[in-house]
Amino acid sequence: MIETFKIIEAIYYTLKKIEIADTMKLLKLVYLADKYHLVRYGRTITKDDYYAMEYGPVGSTVKDVLNFNSISLSTAEYKYASHLLNKIDEVTFKVNESAKDAELEMLSETDKEAIDFVVDKFGKESQWELSEYTHKYPEWYKHESLFKNKLTKRERIGTEELLSLLENDPLAMPEAHVNISRDILLGRHD
């Protein structure tokens, strides 16, 4: 089950680290944090549904939160997002000043670890650099021709596909560890 309140807190926590960011950059950083956490611990932070889109993988609920989509978000979720996130313009965000010291009840220590790691490794990258980087992952790359030929706007990415890694990937873990994470994800590990 997708955890929208947790997604809102993950975006907020990310923004506290980088101060200001546009929609695409936040989409990519949360995606990379989900990959990091999945590879290490056998679950994503957000439990979001991912789609390959023209500019890379996108968490659908992360996108809804960043769009303040009142149709997709419950009234409580919308209020919580409005309380924590300040949408400066159509695509730019920062932490809401009134929520600077908000207590985050949904994020675990490993969730924060994943976001910290991703912000440290990728936080200075531009939205376009992050988009280009995420295009290297097989879960996006295998759909590239569909986007080039304008055959679709999005293709579903299964959570297990997020376990893919690149050569010299900062998110990498030994293959045996990734296999344990896969087993945890699929419910095959004690």
Would the pLDDT of 190 be above 70?
Answer: no
pTM: 0.94
Averaged pLDDT, 176-185: 93
Distance of alpha carbon 149 from alpha carbon 133, whole angstroms:
21
d(CA 190, CA 187) in angstroms, rounded, equals 8
Q: What is the pLDDT of residues 50-93, one digit of tens each?
A: 999 889 999 999 999 999 998 999 999 999 999 999 999 999 99
Domains of the chain, by residue range, sit at 4-185
pLDDT for 111 beyond 70: yes
The model's confidence at residue 142, banded by pLDDT at 50, 70 and 90, is confident
Tell me what percent of the residues of the chain surpass a pLDDT of 90.
79
